[in-house]
Structure 1
Amino acid sequence: MELLPQSKEALDEYVTLSVEDVEGLLRVIEGWAVRSVPECVALSVTLLDEDLTFTLVDDPARTATRASAAAPASAAEPEAPAYALDEGEWADMARERAFEGIQSTVSLPVVQQGRAVLTIDLYASTAHAFHDRIDGLVSALGAWQAGAVTNADLGFETLRRAEEAPERLREQRIVDVATGLLAARTDVSTPEAHDALVRAAEAAEVSEVQAAKVTRSILS
């Protein structure tokens, strides 16, 4: 698998030390995943504290083409299956609306000291790729078995989040710079300066990033 181009860009911007080597982590997970589930065609890791997603795909160019060619969702509500609690029918309906090439998924949270710190999402090209394999994945990846969820992201939502990661990091850098300037100018702690920035944004009914840009312009 290859890094999504936006994930490559985001890794160049990523400086937080909660996970020192994100690409290394992705590659380790890839190795375990493809050995356990040969049908695995993509994987994403979401760092929950930073709300950042990084993605590996079987072919980044082809994935981008599939994403851009995807038809917009219909405004009409999907027709309910004959038996509303029939999970098999709901799964079949979801696959009809799935991202092309993805027929099954599993989401595995990783918990440290009682707190979820990241989520691993795996995507496979066949409908039953993860059948009888989740226990092995949980053990290999150090995930929380009770939190495992199957087929919750057949639309490959983590791809969209991974594509947004570079912009999210650039915006966070703007907020961090403005917070630092405000803290230095007003002689308060960084958390206090950030709280003041958030309050200013709410009072002005603008986004935190917009308030940060104004603050940075005034204080620079």
Structure 2
Amino acid sequence: MEPVPETAQVLRSLNETSERDLASMIDTLAERVVAIVPSCVGLSISLIDSGLTFTLVATSEQVAALDAVQYVAAGPCVESAASGDEIQLDDVLDERRWQHFARAAAAQDVRSTLSLPLVVRRGEVAGAVNLYAADPQAFVGVEAELRQAVGGGQGLGVSNADLPFRTRDVARTATRTLDELDVVEQAVGFVMAEQRVGADEARRRLTDAADRAGVDVPSAARALMARR
């Protein structure tokens, strides 16, 4: 599993100020997780900054887009990052609490997820490590091993002040084709109806979610509208 390009850029920025090579640590973390859960298809690390959840690293654009869906419509990664609770979905097809996320995950052939609280300096819970697997119940019975492999994120050694989120290139939020414009407008209409907001606010929420996840708006919109 390799970080998406935007993630790699953020990691390089972090490495300029961090004492440890965060990119290498992410690679090591991914290897540990796959050794325990072979059907794990991706992971992301989400952190809290100024009361909002952002994706620091994702191993694919599809995984980052699933994070973006949660930033619009809620989901386990946001809940775990905010509450510090461990949240496991054994089968997204049976999920009722976060149905929008569950449908988006199923469309990406993700059947189960596990979000583990991320602990940084001074024992503060500042986010979550989010694991996505292709098989249902992929994480059942190996939770303890995964907690040990992740180590509560303590080895990451970063704090909120280290995160250069606002240096991300906003140009990737622009649509490029008529097809992309169409799916974005569908997603905006969906957010308007679901969250009872106007068009401008719905578009702002979708764009904000995409930026926080490190993907472009069409990718976030496609994930949100999957199987609808």
The normalised TM-score by structure 2 is 0.46
The normalised TM-score by structure 1 is 0.47
Structure having the higher Rg: 1
Structure with greater helix share of residues = 2
